[in-house]
Structure formats: C-alpha cells, structure tokens
C-alpha cells in the first residue's frame, strides 16, 4: 500500500503528520518499500519518533510519542517525561509548577506539579536509569481526567520503548483494525 495513502488514513484517525513534516522526512530514516511492505505497522511505530535530521527535536506526529523508558539520567528527567506527555495530549500547559528531583546516587527521585488545580507529588522508584512507569501512569491519568473529548493514551509495547498515542477510543480501535494481525493498540492505563 502506498505510503501516502497510509499517511492520509492515519491522519483521518487522529494521527496526522505534524506541521512541516513530509514524506521526505520519513524516507530519510527508512526506505519506502519497508513502509509499503508492512502497511500501517511500521508507520504507526515511526510516528512517535523524531525526524532524524536537522533541525533536531521534531516529532513526526504531535499525538504520538516513542517513550524510551531508559531515560532517567539525572535532574529534569521526569519534567521532560511530563512535558512530552502534555505535548502528546495536546495540553502543553496542563502541568504547572512542574519540578523534579533525581539523585541516582542516593536513590531518591520525585516529581511535583499542579494539574487542574490539584497539587501532586509522586515518589519515583530509582532503578538505574529506568523511568518509573507507575509515575508515568500517574501523569497520564492526570491528563486523561482533564480531557473533555474522550481521548486517552493508547500503547503498543515495544520493549524498552513504549509507543504512546493520544486517541479517541473509536479511532484507536480503527487503527488497531488497520494493524491486524500485528500488535493492536491497547489502553495505556489498562482501563477499557
């Protein structure tokens, strides 16, 4: 299936390429035949990644994020996770007064923020440079509770990298149907 057709179909289901991203950006990373031999599966995975050329730091899709859970190297790590989740949910300012503390040497880590008028503080388990996915789940839950349109986080487990998508349930089910028989999307927080 032609790559452009896949892009168009996913855009209609809530996973459009971000403004300024092009087919050429995708093809800079992987050859066209890989996308077209494995329709949707590869493209859905790549949407959460960043363009692999300058200017750096540009996600392919604003409603997807490839969360590499081996990312806690020191202070600011949980703030970065929170900001990426907010970006993916389309609520970049959802968390205010955002700060964290990470000391790998002493095994102490936490994140604190305000969401929807509620102050939150979570202690994170320190395990080398792995993120505490329970804390990431608390962050996602806070964003989902504030969503007015029924959207929430969906995932495809990729081992060390967790692909996350911000979708309405109907769209998530439609994307899963396109991925069949490959790994479907499932609610990131485990609720139906």
Q: What is the pLDDT of residues 64-73, one digit of tens each?
A: 999 999 999 9
Burial 141-163 (b: 16+ CB within 10 A, else e): bbbbeebeeebbbbbbeeeebbb
pLDDT exceeds cutoff 90 at 146: no
* Residue (of 31, 86, 93) closest to 63 by Cα position: 86
pTM of the model as a whole = 0.94
Q: What is the pLDDT of residues 157-177, one digit of tens each?
A: 667 889 999 999 999 999 999
CA-to-CA distance for 7 and 54, rounded, in angstroms?
22
Q: What is the pLDDT of residues 40-86, one digit of tens each?
A: 999 999 999 999 999 999 999 999 999 999 999 999 999 999 999 99
Burial of 28 (0-12, 13-18, 19+ CB in 10 A): exposed
């Amino acid at each position: 299936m032609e790559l452009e057709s896949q892009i168009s179909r996913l855009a209609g289901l809530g996973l459009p390429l971000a403004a300024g991203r092009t087919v050429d950006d995708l093809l800079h990373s992987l050859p066209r035949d890989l996308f077209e031999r494995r329709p949707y599966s590869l493209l859905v995975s790549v949407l959460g990644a960043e363009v692999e050329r300058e200017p750096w730091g540009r996600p392919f899709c604003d409603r997807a994020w490839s969360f590499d859970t081996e990312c806690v190297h020191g202070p600011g790590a949980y703030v970065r996770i929170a900001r990426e989740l907010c970006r993916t949910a389309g609520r970049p300012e959802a968390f205010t007064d955002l700060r964290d503390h990470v000391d790998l040497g002493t095994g102490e880590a936490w994140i604190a923020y305000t969401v929807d008028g509620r102050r939150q503080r979570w202690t994170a388990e320190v395990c080398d440079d792995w993120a505490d996915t329970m804390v990431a789940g608390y962050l996602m839950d806070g964003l989902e509770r504030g969503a007015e349109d029924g959207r929430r986080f969906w995932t495809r487990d990729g081992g060390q990298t967790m692909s996350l998508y911000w979708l309405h349930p109907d769209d998530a089910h439609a994307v899963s149907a396109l991925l069949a028989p490959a790994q479907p999307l499932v609610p990131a927080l485990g609720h139906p």
